[in-house]
């Protein structure tokens, strides 16, 4: 039973996850180099952030899962307070998404991406499974409060993703199907008041999805140009650094939210499918870690982190290929952007922590 | 117990998690299949469609204007060329403070408020990285001044482009014409594809008539642009085909001599080579400088030209129809001989006037004392009106019309210049049709001396004179001798082949030409004074076309009439009279008398031709 601990386990790093993430980062930097118009400085900045992210991941992995469980209420409360402050005193382009701390600008919604699944997992794991109704209602409040605050900023995409991260915890905890059905009905019914509450541009984005040609130079422009980039890539793509849609700047947001279109244009269907396969491998590893976890907290949290990654990828790719509305969701590890990548890495650090702090008697994977 | 409970719980928790992960994986697979299906649809099924769209995005066709063909004179002088002209232009996005920069530039280069106004308006319509012209036609000094300081003006640049230029200017404007900016009227008849990059088009003269040859073929550059439309590189280029070079029949020396001879008087000179129809000179005075028209003439300057009583814009040589006056008499004499109504020796008595049987009106001869008995030779040499009144009466207007028609009167010569007038060769049928009036016998008389309805352009007179000089060889006058395309091929122009009036008796030509010789070099010829001392022998005929109807029995000398109401002076000539090389027609508006005003002009043109040009030609042949 007593198995010698591997080097990886001693440094609390999961080699398979690490490999998958490094491959994603490498693909991301290569595509970014092309999407940015061969801007080395930008690639170096992004690479530095990724190294920072990897460092954060390794540091997080050193703490046992119980540490994160204990920390979660504090993290959650701090995040909510920051969000409330932000909604009155934030800075940022149009939307109040940034908090200026003087030495750095900071998005409290990034904290919530981790704090919400953490606090949910702790809450649900503390009771019996499947969770009881009072616990579920409390969890619903804990999920919806930050989600609505963030959606109000307005950042509908991030708000929805944080909601999903919490909901995944409840789903994995065995949320009864009848509740799921009830939530689905309530959710559909609430679409109507939601529609009336939405900002004009959010509504426009949804409408444009249905028919991009309605507004080919306005909101439809993103989708039309993105789909042209994807479609013109063909099976094998136009070649690295040879995508005309991105290099000639027809493709908007090409180094951030629409970077997947650059990949599709330059590497074709083969490249796109390869990237998706790497994501699947990482998610698969994450789910395996969840199933091997020794307690409910680890299981729920690891499952949530892995499945949330899928949701990110699905929402971003769906947007780029014109199947989902244009919401500001970056492609994990590939899109250019600061805090999002670090947060994701922190999440994977926790995932590694869950896996490498198991007691010796556990089954090795 | 507690432990086993927790162990059971743990088992069920793992079971729940396993089943939920299974559901999640199934859902993910479903969604992934949807994503991949959509990706495959876009990238494989619809690939060519999106490839086309992405090509359309980035590739634009940019037309490149061809270089306009050059125009040379017969003697090799460049009459129309394309000169680099310097313009100052600005890329607004590279200028930080436009107001300040313009103020600084204005210290080096003259900027008027209208320049700045136009610049600001153009700028609004263009994108910030487009170049916007600020000043055209910079002087060399301005270019030099700016170049020294150009580092101080980022975003400002002096560029050279080609602008049409007429080095000779005014003396040839009525032949060469000019180009101007294409306006809406021009657009109607144009091939829009070939003119996409062209800004100027021939407005008058050869520039207009030969527009299709001079323009050339538009070039097309396939360029790659980015999303803002900025050109990044040229992918493919189909260079423009330059316009054809045109060589004129006009000799600039003769043209200049005719200009000088007319001086500041209003008039026209047309000189033609008999037997070929090449126009050696075609002058209309006053002329004007075509260069200001190229880039938009100012309203003030144009107003002056348009409103001048001398009408410089009017091409008298082919747009003005004058009564030919006595210059018609040689043709009348030929008609008399041709129809057998006169022999050279037949005489007519001139008492100074002529009257019809049942009409008290006296038709005067210019010589109120009368010429006495006149043969054809004398009647031409002394320009006796009475002789030709009687001849006209004997011919009748319709025979006159038919005969004059052979010489091209009343019909456009189809010269290769736009805007030609047709003149008028009257007949009974014409008057019935145009005026709905019968023909009166008195009208035949005055038509016989080239007055009344009869009118002809100077070009038509020169053509008719060339027919006499060539003894019945009818030619089509033309100003272009050769068109050479950019790739060295010569295009022949569509000139009607010459035709000979074969049924006229060769003797008749001799008689009339002798008489015309006597006009200038005979003892009693009307133009003998202007021909004095000419070392070559030529033939001619004076003419005066009346503008002012003199009432019966009134004695008015031309000197007493206000200048602009005086008669027009005409003269036709060809030389040498026995082997003609040149035929010409001269008109001096309000010149009062053909012999006094027009014949000396012809003499100066002929002197230029025979004394200077001939001299240099011989010198060239010998040396």
CATH number, residue B516? 3.40.710.10
The answer to whether B160 contacts chain A (CB < 8 Å) is no
The predicted pLDDT at position A217 comes to 58
B34 occurs within a structural domain: no
- How, if at all, do strands B245-248 and B71-72 pair? parallel
B395 occurs within a structural domain: yes
Residues B238, B369: one domain? no
The predicted pLDDT at position B518 comes to 93
Half-sphere exposure of A208 (CA within 13 A, CB side): 22
Closest residue of B to A251, CA-based? B227
In B, which residues are within 8 Å of A276 by CB distance? 32, 35-36
Q: Tokens 């479609």 belong to which residue?
A: A231
The answer to whether B49 contacts chain A (CB < 8 Å) is yes
Residues B260, B335: one domain? yes
Residues B142, B272: one domain? no
Per the rule left: phi > 0, alpha: psi between -120 and 50, beta: everything else, A38 is left
Residues B242, B185: one domain? yes
The predicted pLDDT at position B556 comes to 54
B556 occurs within a structural domain: no
Domain count, chain B: 3
Helix, strand, coil percentages in chain A from 3-state DSSP, rounded to 5: 70, 0, 30
Q: How far does A52 lie from chain B, in Å, by closest CA?
A: 30
Q: What confidence tier does A210 reach under pLDDT thresholds 50, 70, 90?
A: low
| Residue A214 predicted with pLDDT over 90 | no
Residues B124, B139: one domain? yes
The predicted pLDDT at position A2 comes to 46
| Residues in A 62-91 with any Cβ partner in B closer than 8 A | none
Q: How far does A54 lie from chain B, in Å, by closest CA?
A: 27
ipTM: 0.90
**Helix B252-262 vs helix B599-607: crossing angle, to nearest 10:** 150
The predicted pLDDT at position B60 comes to 79
Please state, as a whole number, how many other Cβ atoms lie within 10 Å of the Cβ of residue A196.
8
B46 occurs within a structural domain: no
The answer to whether B28 contacts chain A (CB < 8 Å) is yes
Does the distance separating the beta carbons of B42 and A307 come in below 8 Å? Answer: no
Q: How far does B5 lie from chain A, in Å, by closest CA?
A: 12
Low-confidence ranges of chain B (pLDDT < 70): 1-9, 229, 493-494, 547-561, 623
B543 occurs within a structural domain: yes
Helix residue spans in B358-500 (DSSP H)? 376-381, 385-395, 397-406, 428-435, 441-448, 458-469
Q: Which of B162, B185, B218 is the last residue of a domain?
A: B162
In B, which residues are within 8 Å of A314 by CB distance? 31-32, 35
The predicted pLDDT at position A213 comes to 62
Residues B243, B389: one domain? no
Please state, as a whole number, how many other Cβ atoms lie within 10 Å of the Cβ of residue A285.
23
B246 DSSP β-pair partners: B71, B483
The answer to whether B16 contacts chain A (CB < 8 Å) is yes
Does the distance separating the beta carbons of B12 and A269 come in below 8 Å? Answer: no
- Residue B172 CA to residue B17 CA, distance in Å, equals 99
Residues B530, B437: one domain? yes
B498 occurs within a structural domain: yes
pLDDT tens-digit map of A144-198: 999 988 887 777 788 888 999 999 999 999 888 888 898 888 888 877 877 777 7
B9 occurs within a structural domain: no
Which of B326, B383, B545, B595 is the catalytic position?
Answer: B326
The predicted pLDDT at position B559 comes to 58
Closest residue of B to A232, CA-based? B51
Q: How far does B221 lie from chain A, in Å, by closest CA?
A: 18
The predicted pLDDT at position B522 comes to 87
Best to test chain B binding among A127, A179, A228, A309 (most B CBs inside 10 Å): A228
- Residue B115 CA to residue B93 CA, distance in Å, equals 19
- Residue B521 CA to residue B361 CA, distance in Å, equals 35
pTM of the model: 0.69
- How, if at all, do strands B348-350 and B353-355 pair? unpaired
DSSP H or E stretch at residue B571: strand B568-575
The predicted pLDDT at position B552 comes to 47
The answer to whether A278 contacts chain B (CB < 8 Å) is no
Contacts 24+ apart (CB under 8 A), A53-56: A53/A341, A53/A342, A53/A344, A53/A345, A53/A346, A54/A21, A54/A345, A56/A342, A56/A345, A56/A346, A56/A349
**What range does the domain containing B121 cover?**
85-162
SS3 (DSSP) at A251: coil
pLDDT tens-digit map of A24-65: 999 999 999 999 989 999 999 999 989 999 999 999 999 999
Residue B224 is part of a domain; what is its CATH number? 3.90.1310.10
Does the distance separating the beta carbons of B31 and A248 come in below 8 Å? Answer: no
The answer to whether A271 contacts chain B (CB < 8 Å) is no
Q: For residue A192, give Cα distances in angstroms to A145, A150, A184.
A: 20, 20, 14
In A, which residues are within 8 Å of B38 by CB distance? 321-323
Q: How far does B94 lie from chain A, in Å, by closest CA?
A: 20
The predicted pLDDT at position A107 comes to 77
Question: Residue B112 corresponds to which tokens in the numbers above?
Answer: 């008027």
Q: Which of B218, B248, B278 is the last residue of a domain?
A: B248
Q: In the annotation, is B326 catalytic?
A: yes
The whole-number average pLDDT for the span A291-318 is: 93
B303 occurs within a structural domain: no
In A, which residues are within 8 Å of B14 by CB distance? 291, 299
Q: What confidence tier does A215 reach under pLDDT thresholds 50, 70, 90?
A: low
CB nearest to B18's CB, from A229, A291, A314? A291
Residues B188, B65: one domain? yes
In contact, A332 and A344? CB cutoff 8 Å: yes
């Amino acid at each position: 039973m007593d198995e010698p601990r591997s080097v990886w386990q001693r440094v609390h790093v999961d080699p398979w996850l690490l490999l998958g993430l490094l491959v994603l980062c490498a693909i991301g930097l290569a595509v970014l180099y092309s999407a940015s118009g061969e801007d080395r400085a930008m690639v170096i900045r992004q690479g530095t952030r990724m190294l920072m992210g990897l460092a954060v991941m390794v540091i997080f992995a050193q703490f046992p899962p119980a540490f994160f469980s204990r920390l979660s209420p504090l993290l959650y409360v701090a995040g909510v307070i920051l969000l409330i402050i932000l909604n009155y005193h934030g800075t940022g382009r149009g939307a109040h998404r940034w908090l200026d701390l003087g030495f750095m600008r900071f998005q409290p919604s990034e904290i919530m991406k981790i704090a919400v699944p953490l606090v949910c997992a702790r809450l649900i794991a503390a009771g019996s499974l499947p969770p009881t109704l009072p616990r579920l209602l409390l969890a619903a409040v804990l999920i919806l409060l930050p989600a609505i605050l963030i959606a109000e900023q307005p950042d509908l995409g991030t708000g929805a993703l944080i909601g999903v991260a919490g909901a995944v915890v409840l789903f994995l905890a065995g949320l009864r199907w009848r509740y799921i059905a009830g939530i689905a009905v309530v959710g559909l019914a609430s679409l109507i008041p939601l529609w009336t509450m939405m900002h004009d541009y959010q509504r426009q984005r949804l409408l444009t999805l249905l028919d991009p040609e309605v507004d080919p130079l306005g909101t439809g422009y993103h989708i039309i140009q993105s789909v042209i980039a994807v479609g013109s890539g063909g099976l094998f793509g136009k070649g690295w650094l040879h995508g005309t849609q991105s290099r000639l700047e027809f493709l908007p947001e090409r180094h951030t939210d629409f970077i997947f279109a650059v990949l599709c244009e330059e590497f074709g269907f083969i490249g796109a499918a390869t990237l998706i396969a790497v994501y699947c491998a990482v998610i698969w590893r994450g789910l395996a870690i969840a199933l091997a976890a020794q307690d409910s907290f680890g299981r729920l949290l690891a499952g949530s982190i892995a499945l949330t990654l899928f949701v990110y990828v699905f929402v971003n790719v769906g947007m780029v290929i014109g199947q989902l509305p244009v919401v500001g969701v970056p492609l994990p590890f590939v899109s250019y952007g600061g805090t999002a990548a670090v947060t994701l890495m922190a999440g994977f650090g926790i995932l590694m922590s869950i896996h490498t702090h198991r007691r010796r008697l556990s089954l090795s994977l | 117990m507690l432990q086993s409970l927790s162990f059971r719980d743990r088992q069920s928790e793992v079971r729940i998690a396993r089943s939920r992960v299974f559901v999640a994986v199934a859902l993910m697979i479903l969604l992934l299949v949807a994503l991949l299906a959509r990706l495959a649809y876009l990238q494989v099924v619809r690939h060519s469609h999106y490839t086309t769209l992405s090509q359309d995005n980035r590739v634009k066709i940019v037309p490149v204007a061809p270089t306009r063909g050059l125009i040379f004179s017969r003697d090799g002088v460049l009459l129309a060329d394309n000169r680099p002209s310097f313009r100052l232009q600005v890329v607004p996005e590279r200028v930080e403070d436009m107001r300040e920069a313009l103020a600084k530039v204005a210290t080096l280069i003259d900027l008027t408020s209208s320049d700045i106004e136009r610049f600001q308006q153009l700028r609004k319509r263009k994108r910030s990285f487009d170049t916007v012209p600020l000043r055209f036609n910079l002087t060399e000094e301005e270019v030099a001044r700016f170049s020294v300081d150009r580092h101080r003006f980022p975003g400002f640049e002096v560029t050279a482009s080609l602008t049409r230029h007429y080095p000779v200017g005014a003396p040839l404007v009525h032949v060469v014409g000019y180009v101007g900016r294409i306006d809406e009227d021009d657009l109607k008849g144009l091939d829009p594809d070939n003119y996409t990059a062209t800004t100027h088009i021939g407005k008058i003269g050869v520039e207009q008539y030969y527009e299709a040859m001079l323009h050339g073929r538009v070039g097309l550059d396939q360029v790659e642009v980015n999303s803002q439309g900025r050109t990044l590189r040229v992918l493919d280029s189909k260079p423009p085909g330059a316009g054809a070079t045109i060589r004129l029949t006009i000799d600039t020396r003769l043209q200049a001599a005719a200009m000088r001879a007319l001086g500041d008087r209003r008039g026209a000179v047309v000189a033609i080579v008999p037997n070929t129809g090449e126009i050696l000179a075609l002058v209309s005075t006053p002329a004007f400088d075509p260069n200001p028209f190229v880039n938009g003439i100012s309203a003030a300057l144009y107003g002056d030209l348009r409103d001048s009583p001398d009408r410089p814009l009017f091409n008298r040589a082919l747009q003005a129809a004058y009564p030919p006056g006595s210059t018609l008499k040689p043709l009348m004499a030929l008609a008399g001989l041709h129809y057998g109504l006169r022999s050279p020796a037949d005489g007519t008595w001139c008492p100074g006037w002529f009257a019809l049987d049942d009409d008290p009106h006296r038709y005067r001869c210019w010589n109120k004392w009368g010429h006495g008995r006149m043969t054809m030779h004398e009647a031409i040499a002394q320009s006796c009106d009475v002789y030709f009144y009687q001849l006209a009466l004997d011919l009748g207007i319709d025979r006159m019309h038919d005969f004059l028609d052979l010489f091209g009167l009343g019909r456009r010569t189809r010269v290769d210049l736009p805007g030609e007038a047709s003149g008028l060769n009257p007949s009974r049928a014409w008057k019935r049709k145009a005026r709905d009036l019968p023909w009166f016998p008195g009208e035949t008389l005055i038509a016989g001396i080239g007055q009344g309805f009869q009118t002809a352009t100077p070009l038509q007179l020169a053509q008719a004179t060339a027919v006499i000089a060539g003894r019945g060889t009818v030619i089509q006058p033309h100003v272009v001798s050769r068109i050479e395309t950019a790739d060295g091929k010569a295009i022949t122009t569509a000139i009607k082949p010459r035709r000979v009036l074969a049924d006229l008796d060769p003797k008749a030509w001799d008689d009339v030409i002798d008489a015309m010789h006597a006009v200038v070099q005979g003892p009693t010829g009307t133009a003998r004074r202007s021909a004095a001392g000419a070392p070559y022998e030529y033939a001619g005929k004076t003419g005066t076309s009346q503008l002012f109807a003199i009432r019966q029995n009134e004695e008015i000398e031309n000197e007493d009439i206000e200048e602009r109401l005086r008669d027009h002076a005409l003269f036709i000539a060809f030389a040498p009279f026995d082997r003609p090389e040149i035929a010409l027609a001269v008109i001096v508006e309000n010149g009062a008398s053909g012999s006094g005003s027009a014949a000396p002009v012809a003499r100066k043109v002929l002197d230029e031709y025979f004394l200077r040009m001939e001299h240099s030609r011989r010198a060239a042949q010998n040396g």
